[in-house]
Amino acid sequence: MNVPTLLQASPVFADTARHDFASHYPEVPHKLTHALGAHPLMELEALARLAEVLPPASVEYNASDQPIGIEGKPGPTGIPIGETIRHIETTRSWAVLKNVEQDPAYAALLEALLAEIRPAIEARTGRMLKTQAFVFVTSAGGVTPYHFDPEHNILMQVRGSKVMTQFPAGDPTFAPDEIHETYHTGGGRELKWRDDLLAGGREFPLAPGEALYVPVMAPHFVRNGPEPSVSLSITWRSEWSFAEADARAFNGLLRRCGLKPTAPGRWPDRNRTKATGWRIARKLGL
């Protein structure tokens, strides 16, 4: 892709934003400000051209008029992905471009953004692993249904507005242990929605120039604002996050054996014993 990468000489995350991030990471959701602005890589035409050359597995898109909770993943709209993005004002669609760092320009942008907060991250959870970036393009009023993600995540709002409703990570009220265990052994991560869950959520409105930190596996859903939205999600894993994921998988193995395992601990618990147990079991093909 021949779109130039415009990397600001000044930081995208100001000193106050980096300080706030360091004081909350890794378990407390919080808003940040950013100065990414109207970056050329986030323009609709650039994103449409990127989507047209990414591998099919890296592009997901469907109708934006979704309920908060769904069973499985909805199918594509039938509109080609390039046209979906170019005409997002009228296509009533939701699209995510996964692992945009496959393109060198986006890889450079991701690295530059993460470099600004790397010291705070590595001081708390060790070296950054599996760094990735995702771009979300959504029509007005679109909904991203209720789910969780396995990464540490900063969602940066570039265009339009949205409201993320986020729920406590690690609380089985909002994401049952069995769902975690299924996901970390190859299943889905969509969660069943009940209206009574809403009281436990916290709303985070996001406008251009604002960002939100989402802790590992914190359940959430997103409602888009009254105009099309473009958001950039920069993510990373840590040894701690991988250990919790492996401990969840090991609990799934124990549950299949008729046991009732306790849930892994959240930060600063390291979950080393169960994580090691799962890694041994995986090598043995169990």
Q: Is residue 151 domain-shared with residue 259, that is, in the same domain?
A: no
Q: Is residue 249 part of a domain?
A: yes
Mean pLDDT of 197-210: 98
Mean of the per-residue pLDDT values for the chain? 93
Q: Is residue 138 domain-shared with residue 266, that is, in the same domain?
A: no
Q: Is residue 161 domain-shared with residue 112, that is, in the same domain?
A: yes
Q: Is residue 167 domain-shared with residue 253, that is, in the same domain?
A: no
Q: Is residue 5 part of a domain?
A: no
pLDDT in tens, 231-263: 999 999 999 999 999 999 999 999 999 999 999
CA–CA gap between residue 28 and residue 33 (Å, rounded): 16
CA–CA gap between residue 74 and residue 271 (Å, rounded): 35
Mean pLDDT of 65-91: 85
Q: Is residue 19 part of a domain?
A: yes
Q: What is the pLDDT of residue 71?
A: 67
Question: CB neighbours (10 Å) of residue 28?
Answer: 12
Range of the domain at 252: 242-284
Q: Is residue 252 part of a domain?
A: yes
CATH number of the domain where residue 209 is located: 2.60.120.650
Q: Domain ends where: 238, 259, 276?
A: 238
Q: pTM here?
A: 0.93
Mean pLDDT of 32-43: 95
Q: Is residue 221 domain-shared with residue 269, that is, in the same domain?
A: no
pLDDT value at 64 more than 60: yes
Q: Is residue 10 part of a domain?
A: no
Q: Is residue 220 domain-shared with residue 270, that is, in the same domain?
A: no
User: To 5 degrees, how large is the angle CA 161–CA 165–CA 167?
Assistant: 155
Mean pLDDT of 266-282: 96
Q: Is residue 177 domain-shared with residue 273, that is, in the same domain?
A: no
Q: What is the pLDDT of residue 2?
A: 46
Q: Is residue 84 domain-shared with residue 220, that is, in the same domain?
A: yes
Q: What is the pLDDT of residue 8?
A: 54
Q: How confident is the model at residue 75 (pLDDT cuts 50, 70, 90)?
A: low
Cα–Cα nearest to 148, from 244, 228, 22: 244
pLDDT value at 82 more than 60: yes
pLDDT in tens, 107-124: 999 999 999 999 999 999
Q: Is residue 112 part of a domain?
A: yes
Q: Is residue 194 domain-shared with residue 117, that is, in the same domain?
A: yes
Q: Is residue 78 domain-shared with residue 175, that is, in the same domain?
A: yes
pLDDT value at 78 more than 70: yes
Give me the number of domains the chain comprises. Answer: 2
pLDDT in tens, 133-157: 999 999 999 999 999 999 999 999 9
CA–CA gap between residue 164 and residue 29 (Å, rounded): 11
Q: Is residue 34 domain-shared with residue 157, that is, in the same domain?
A: yes
Beta bridge partners of 226: none
CA–CA gap between residue 129 and residue 213 (Å, rounded): 17
CA–CA gap between residue 237 and residue 123 (Å, rounded): 14
Q: Is residue 273 part of a domain?
A: yes
Q: Is residue 280 part of a domain?
A: yes
